[in-house]
């Protein structure tokens, strides 16, 4: 069975510091991987996704994630965060069978 | 540019009452979903639909019913609300199957059952 584990429930950082939000998954088959972001009082929005090809994927606002098959990880990184990045981030995994499983979420809190 | 719209946004119910949450999308998406979000548990799929007139159970369907009479609408019903159904409910839609496509979410409906 598939599962997703986000290793940190809360990550506090100072503005302009780098950040890494960790995500590990378990699956016996090929997977697709996603990061969604939820800003306060809003629904989730797709941040980036890996379906195939290059293992490094980027978002338009400076986040990137790398698919590491050997470590079954899809960590999200940003070299310098802004106050506006404060949100909850969800990692999600699916296989070609159609099930999409969300992790528990990581609250990123960026402080001035 | 509405996207996915959920009504109502807030509701307080007493145990045993019934209610319906409405989700409407204007993107002509085939697939629609209802999730619930609870602290520390991420999002869990309640029911979903792969097209007009079809519905299917997700991970946590008990206590809920759904209908998709029109392509653009997906209704979630609670026949007899219980305190365990206190949650934030999100509707989502997608053009492709959720395994490969991007899901578009509504802003959520916060339900409290007393």
Q: How large is the greatest C-alpha to C-alpha distance in chain B, in angstroms?
A: 39
Binary contact (B103, A98; C-beta < 8 A): no
Q: Which candidate in B2, B42, B89, B96 is best for mutational testing of the A interface (most A CBs within 10 A)?
A: B42
Distance CA A92, CA A81 (A): 22
Among A32, A42, A104, select the one facing B100 at the smallest CB separation: A32
Q: Does residue A30 carry a pLDDT above 90?
A: no
Reduced to 3 states (helix: H, G, I; strand: E, B; else coil), residue B65 is strand
- Tell me what pLDDT residue B1 has: 63
pLDDT in tens, A63-107: 999 999 889 999 999 999 999 999 999 999 887 666 788 999 999
Q: What is the mean pLDDT of residues B83-95?
A: 94
Q: A93 to each of A29, A62, B42, B93, how far by Cα in Å?
A: 11, 21, 13, 17
Q: Assign B83 to helix, strand or coil.
A: helix
**Other Cβ atoms within 10 Å of B95 Cβ, number:** 13
What separation in angstroms does the CA of A96 have from each of A50, A81, B70, B98, B101?
A: 13, 33, 27, 10, 11
Percentage with pLDDT > 90 across chain B: 85
d(CA B67, CA B69): 6
On the question of pLDDT at A28 being above 80, the answer is no
Write the DSSP assignment of A26-63 as a string of letters. E-SS-EEEEEEEE-TTS-EEEEEEE-SS-SEEE-TTS-
């Amino acid at each position: 069975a598939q599962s997703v584990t986000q290793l940190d429930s809360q990550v506090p950082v100072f503005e302009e510091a780098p950040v890494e939000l960790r995500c590990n998954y378990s699956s016996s088959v090929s997977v697709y991987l996603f990061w969604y972001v939820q800003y306060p009082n809003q629904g989730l929005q797709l941040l980036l996704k890996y379906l195939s090809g290059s293992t490094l994927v980027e978002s338009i606002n400076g986040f990137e994630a790398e698919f590491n098959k050997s470590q079954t990880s899809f960590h999200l990184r940003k070299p310098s965060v802004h106050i506006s990045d404060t949100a909850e981030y969800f990692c999600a995994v699916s296989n070609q069978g159609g099930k999409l499983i969300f992790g528990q979420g990581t609250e990123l809190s960026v402080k001035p | 540019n509405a996207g996915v719209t959920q009504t109502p946004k807030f509701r307080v119910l007493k145990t045993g009452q019934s209610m319906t949450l409405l989700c409407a999308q204007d993107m002509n998406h085939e697939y629609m979903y209802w999730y619930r979000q609870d602290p520390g548990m991420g999002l869990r799929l309640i029911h979903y639909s792969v097209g007009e007139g079809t519905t299917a159970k997700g991970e946590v369907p008990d206590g809920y019913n759904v209908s998709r009479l029109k392509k653009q609408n997906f209704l979630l019903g609670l026949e007899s609300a219980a305190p365990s159904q206190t949650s934030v409910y999100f509707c989502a839609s997608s053009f492709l199957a959720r395994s490969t496509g991007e899901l578009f979410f509504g802003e959520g409906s916060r339900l409290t059952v007393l």
